[in-house]
Amino acid sequence: MSTNAIFDRIRTAITRDGSIADFARRSGISDSTLRSYTKGKGTLPSLEIAAQIARAANVSLDWLVNGDTIGFHEGDDGGGYVVNMAEQGNYVAITRIDGVLPAIADGSPEQEELVQIAAFRREWLTRIGVSPIFARFFVVKGDAMAPTLVAGDGLLIDSAVDDVEEQGIYLIRADDRLMLKRIAPRIDGSLQIMSDNPIYPPEVIPASQAADLKIVGQVRWFGRSI
């Protein structure tokens, strides 16, 4: 078992969702201790401390310590994803954002939460221009973006993108809901918000309100089971 690989997983768990100071408050572990772990210095944490880190980061203790496989399944349709972390040195652990994509305009809101993690090859993320720090994983629910994206598709989201500079598919927050929309900037500064499913009419956000649109990130990749 590589000490460097363990420190890499600990660093990912501590830094993936915010600052070290935030994680210190959540975990009850001192800021200085956490910083030493993220730098790969000193001795590895005790099992008790590792368990505190795993709980605060919402990851498996087995993954944090051993790099064991993490699996999760989505919905009743049998769609899902299983991540093999055996080659941790070549992979980057990615936070999965869980939320709802309402199938109807007045769908009941569901609070977003961060759960489990997926993994992508480090080399591939670099090649497509997504920083591992800002990479997020999302599973589609609903039919708003069908046929381009359908329920059960897994998406790689670049959360470094927080405004719309080019036409693309974005994950946005509206009140307590997460929604996928195709967004196109217009010459007058307004934004055209579209669903690929034609049953949902397009909307236009005027230029005066465009800055208020909450962009979670831009879709950079999707995967689908067959």
36-95, pLDDT tens digit by residue?
988 887 788 888 888 889 888 877 776 777 765 443 333 333 333 334 443 445 777 777
Q: How far apart are CA 32 and CA 24, in angstroms?
A: 9
pLDDT bin (cut points 50, 70, 90) of residue 184 is very high
* Structure tokens, 182: 């195709």
Q: Are residues 167 and 183 in contact, defined by beta-carbon separation less than 8 angstroms?
A: yes
Extended beta strands in 153-213, E state: 154-158, 168-174, 177-185, 191-194, 203-205
Does the CA dihedral 205-96-220-74 come out positive or negative?
negative
SS3 category, 169: strand
For CA atoms 215, 220, 225, 226, give the dihedral sign.
positive
Q: Could you give the count of Cα atoms lying within 13 Å of 103 in the half-sphere of its Cβ?
A: 5
Token couple for 201: 């009419």
> pLDDT tens for residues 186-220?
999 999 999 999 999 999 999 999 988 999 999 99
Distances (CA, A) of 160 to 115, 151, 204: 19, 24, 24
What percentage of the chain exceeds 90 in pLDDT?
31
- This prediction has a pTM of 0.58
Residue of 102 and 220 predicted with greater confidence? 220
Rg (alpha carbons) of the chain, rounded to whole number: 19
Nearest Cα to Cα of residue 164 among 222, 216, 108, 102: 216
Q: With pLDDT > 70 as the criterion, what percentage of the chain qualifies?
A: 77
Beta-bridge partners for 193:
183, 203
Residue-level pLDDT at 146: 95
Task: Tell me, rounded to whole angstroms, the distance of Cα 188 from its chain centroid.
Answer: 32
Chain centre distance of CA 48:
27
Average pLDDT score, the chain: 78
d(CA 136, CA 138): 7
